[in-house]
């Protein structure tokens, strides 16, 4: 585009209008890595999420059972988890 055409556009439209038009075919994507997100998820939040997705009750119950009866262990200690989900 020639500089004259750009100047005409700027005089006729606001910069935000020009950018909005220019960016119609552009998709912006942002990825977040939140430290501790999986470790701190409550079982209730997990259950609400699968219910919201309309997962059938037997599958929801199985997921809930697996999360609530999960053990975290190392060579010396085993503890029942109270929140979080495996990754």
Q: What is the tens place of the pLDDT at every residue in 50-74?
A: 888 888 888 888 888 888 888 888 8
User: Coil, helix or strand for 28?
Assistant: coil
Record the tokens describing residue 31, joined without a space.
């990825």
Query: Is residue 41 within 8 Å of residue 83, measured between CB atoms?
Result: yes
Query: Is residue 72 within 8 Å of residue 51, measured between CB atoms?
Result: no
85 pLDDT tier (thresholds 50, 70, 90): confident
The neighbouring-strand residues paired with 71 are: 80
pTM of the complete model: 0.51
């Amino acid at each position: 585009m020639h500089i004259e055409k750009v100047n005409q556009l700027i005089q006729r439209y606001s910069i935000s209008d020009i950018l909005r038009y220019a960016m119609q075919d552009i998709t912006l994507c942002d990825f977040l890595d939140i430290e501790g997100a999986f470790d701190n998820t409550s079982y209730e939040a997990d259950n609400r999420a699968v219910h919201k997705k309309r997962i059938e009750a037997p599958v929801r119950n199985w997921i809930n059972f697996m999360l609530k009866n999960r053990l975290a262990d190392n060579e010396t200690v085993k503890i029942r988890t109270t929140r979080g989900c495996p990754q």
